[in-house]
A and B are shown apart, each in its own frame.
Chain A
Amino acid sequence: QQQVKQSPQSLIVQKGGISIINCAYENTAFDYFPWYQQFPGKGPALLIAIRPDVSEKKEGRFTISFNKSAKQFSLHIMDSQPGDSATYFCAASLPGANNLFFGTGTRLTVIP
């Protein structure tokens, strides 16, 4: 059973556009929601993370929007660039937990 459901599976965006990736979860005890970025042949790298006490976190062109009541969170990439082309994973963890539950990933392609 997938603890965190991610969509879409793939996404194609024009350069300069906004990329939006969504994740949903059922366990309301989750309290840490990171996003990871993975380039081909590399391991995932932490991009940005949020805790449920805030509704939005922004770092440069990357923003996490968090909707606690809907049990959803999303990654927005503003002014998308070809260099953003990668696979993005959302994840969640429980308080004091020893592991992250990952979504299935979204392959983003930004075309010039």
Chain B
Amino acid sequence: NAGVTQTPKFRVLKTGQSMTLLCAQDMNHEYMYWYRQDPGMGLRLIHYSVGEGTTAKGEVPDGYNVSRLKKQNFLLGLESAAPSQTSVYFCASSYSGDYGYTFGSGTRLTVV
């Protein structure tokens, strides 16, 4: 029972490069989320999805895009990376919006 799996775990990008972070969950959860974690700022919601084929903006969506083509997967894309996007990214899933979230172990992204 893997829970929520994020790949990759670490990545270094140059400014302007693009990349996709993959999140996969095996709990049949409807809701999936992408958060970023920065020192002193807690966890901030980037985008979320309430079901297959749906996505919505969170608190800090600029510079990111997402897709949820399959229920178990939620992809986060950076089209043109900027140093301000250096952060730890966490994916989470839940049965419902106000129920307990299950988080992945994170992706540490550095943009130079």
Q: A-side interface residues toward B, CB under 8 Å? A: 2, 6, 9, 31-32, 34, 36, 41-46, 49, 89, 93-100, 102-105
Contacts and interface: CB of A to CB of B under 8 A. Distances in A.
A96 B97 contact: yes
Contacts of A96: 97-98
A68 to B, nearest CB: 17
B105 to A, nearest CB: 5
Interface string B49-75: 010000010100000000000000000
10 contacts: A9-B40, A34-B100, A42-B106, A43-B106, A94-B98, A95-B98, A97-B97, A102-B44, A104-B40, A105-B42
B97 A98 contact: yes
Interface in B21-68: 31, 33, 35, 40-45, 48, 50, 56, 58
B4 interface: yes
B23 to A, nearest CB: 11
A45 B3 CA distance: 12
A40 B101 CA distance: 18
Contacts of B33: 99
